[in-house]
Amino acid sequence: MKTPDWVKHAVFYQIYPDRFARGAGMVHERGLRFQPWGADPAEQGYQGGDLYGVIDKLDYLKTLGVNALYLNPIFSSASNHRYHTFDYLQVDPLLGGNDALRALLEQAHHRGIKVILDGVFNHASRGFWAFHHILENGGDSPYVDWFMINDWPLRPYHSDETQPPNYEAWWNLPALPKFNIKNPGVRDYLLKVARFWLEFGIDGWRLDVPEEIDDVPFWQAFRRVVKEVNPQAYICGEIWGHAGDWLQGDRFDATMNYTFAWSAMSFIGAASLRRDYIKEHMPLTPLSVSEYRQVVERMLSWYSDEVNQAQLNLLDSHDTARALWIMGEDKPSLALCVLLQMTMPGAPCIYYGDEVGVSGADDPYCREAYPWHEPALQDHALLTTYQSLTRLRHAHPVLRLGSVSFIEADNPELLIFKRELGADKALVVVNRTRELQTVNLPAAEYQNYMQEWPATHSSGAIGNQRRLTLAPQQGVVLVLAPHLFDETLYPGLTKVAAEGNKIKGAGEH
Residues 85-122 pLDDT 10s:
999 999 999 999 999 999 999 999 999 999 999 999 99
DSSP string for residues in 442-498: EHHHHTTEEEEESS--EEEEETTEEEEEE-TTEEEEEEESPPP--TTTSTT--EE-T
Residues 115-174 have pLDDT tens digits of 999 999 999 999 999 999 999 999 999 999 999 999 999 999 988 888 899 999 999 999
Q: Over 90: is that where the pLDDT of 489 sits? A: no
Residue of 92, 118, 238, 368 with catalytic role:
238
Q: What is the pLDDT of residue 429?
A: 97
Q: What is the pLDDT of residue 493?
A: 39
Q: How confident is the model over 187-206, as a mean pLDDT?
A: 98
Whole-number CA gyration radius for the chain: 24
- CA dist 281 and 200 (Å) reads 35
Nearest in space to 93 (alpha carbons), one of 131, 137, 35, 46: 46
Q: Over 80: is that where the pLDDT of 505 sits? A: no
Residues 212-266 have pLDDT tens digits of 999 999 999 999 999 999 999 999 999 999 999 999 999 999 999 999 999 999 9
| Strand duo 12-15 + 75-77: pairing | unpaired
Q: What is the pLDDT of residue 502?
A: 29
Q: What is the pLDDT of residue 40?
A: 97
Global confidence as pTM: 0.94
Residue of 18, 50, 203, 208 with catalytic role:
208
Q: What is the pLDDT of residue 158?
A: 83
The phi and psi torsions of 276 (rounded to 5 degrees) equal -90, 0
Q: Over 70: is that where the pLDDT of 484 sits? A: no
Annotated active-site residue 161? The verdict is no
431 in Cβ contact with 411 (< 8 Å): no
Residues 285-325 have pLDDT tens digits of 999 999 999 999 999 999 999 999 999 999 999 999 999 99
Percentage of the chain beyond pLDDT 70 is 93
Average pLDDT, the chain: 93
Percentage of the chain beyond pLDDT 90 is 89
Q: Between the ranges 12-16, 161-165, 467-471, where is the mean pLDDT highest?
A: 12-16
Annotated active-site residue 413? The verdict is no
Q: How confident is the model over 497-504, as a mean pLDDT?
A: 29
Nearest in space to 100 (alpha carbons), one of 33, 37, 11, 17: 17
Q: What is the pLDDT of residue 498?
A: 31
pLDDT tier, 481 (very low <50, low <70, confident <90, very high otherwise): low
Q: How confident is the model over 446-454, as a mean pLDDT?
A: 92
Q: What is the pLDDT of residue 487?
A: 41
Which residues make beta-bridge pairs with 414? Answer: 431
